[in-house]
């Protein structure tokens, strides 16, 4: 005789304990919890984040601010990142972090060469390509004019990688040079008017 199940698979999925990453509104405090229900998410999350009143909180997805309630909880994927907000707080996207440009120290003078400076710049860009946007026009020009097959450069990266980075720097250099020329032209027009 077949055994009849009293609970459906949906009930098992809804009641399943889910690991969730709970974050404070400013994303500075991040904790992990396991919750079986939305109510448990609220109480455990508030306790982990040291929030006083779990009744006056909203929970949203960290990535896009989607409000999580009892119904949404049922479909929430395990390991989701959620932010706890007070009722008067609004979800904000994570701030864009500007990378720090790490350059090898070079000394100006007879001992330093443009190839060493170019090597330092190319290495920093290879580690973090967004650094190109932080380079000055003079730095872009150094990379643009560098001999990427020079021993100082080829000893730290493949020539093909250096050529690709150099190509990107040339594009940025041309764009920045055009912008600088346009601004100079506008300033000349202002002086003559």
Per-10-residue mean pLDDT of the chain, 193 residues long, equals 52 70 92 94 92 87 93 92 91 67 49 73 85 85 87 82 89 90 88 82
Instruction: Provide the β-strand partners of residue 125.
Output: none
Q: What is the pLDDT of residue 112?
A: 54
Q: What is the pLDDT of residue 132?
A: 84
**Pair 119, 160 in one domain:** yes
**Pair 188, 125 in one domain:** yes
Q: What is the pLDDT of residue 106?
A: 47
CB 17 within 8 A of CB 36: yes
CB 192 within 8 A of CB 174: no
Q: What is the pLDDT of residue 16?
A: 77
Q: Which residues contact residue 81 at a Cβ distance below 8 angstroms, ignoring those fewer than 6 apart? A: 20, 21, 23, 61, 62, 63
135 found inside a domain = yes
154 found inside a domain = yes
103 found inside a domain = no
Which ranges in the chain belong to alpha helices (H)? 9-15, 38-48, 70-75, 114-127, 137-145, 151-154, 159-192
Q: Which domain holds residue 72?
A: 15-86
161 found inside a domain = yes
What predicted TM-score, i.e. pTM, was given to this entire model? 0.47
CB 152 within 8 A of CB 106: no
If one counts the domains in the chain, the total is: 2
Q: What is the pLDDT of residue 6?
A: 52
**Pair 121, 183 in one domain:** yes
56 found inside a domain = yes
Q: What is the pLDDT of residue 94?
A: 80
């Amino acid at each position: 005789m077949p055994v009849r199940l009293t609970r459906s698979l949906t009930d098992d999925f809804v009641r399943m304990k889910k690991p969730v990453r709970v974050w404070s509104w400013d994303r500075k405090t991040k904790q992990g919890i396991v919750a079986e229900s939305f109510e448990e998410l609220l109480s455990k999350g508030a306790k982990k984040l040291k929030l006083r009143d779990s009744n006056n909180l909203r929970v949203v997805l960290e990535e896009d601010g989607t409000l999580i309630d009892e119904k949404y909880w049922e479909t929430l994927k395990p390991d989701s990142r959620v932010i706890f907000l007070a009722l008067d707080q609004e979800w904000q996207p994570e701030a864009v972090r500007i990378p720090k440009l790490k350059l090898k120290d070079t000394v100006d003078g007879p001992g330093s060469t443009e190839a060493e400076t170019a090597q330092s710049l190319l290495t920093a860009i290879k580690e973090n390509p967004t650094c190109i946007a932080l380079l000055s026009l003079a730095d872009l020009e150094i990379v643009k004019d560098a001999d990427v097959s020079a021993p100082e450069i080829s000893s730290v990266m493949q020539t093909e990688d250096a050529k690709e980075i150099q190509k990107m720097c040339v594009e940025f250099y041309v764009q920045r040079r055009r912008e600088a020329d346009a601004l100079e032209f506008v300033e000349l027009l202002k002086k003559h008017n």
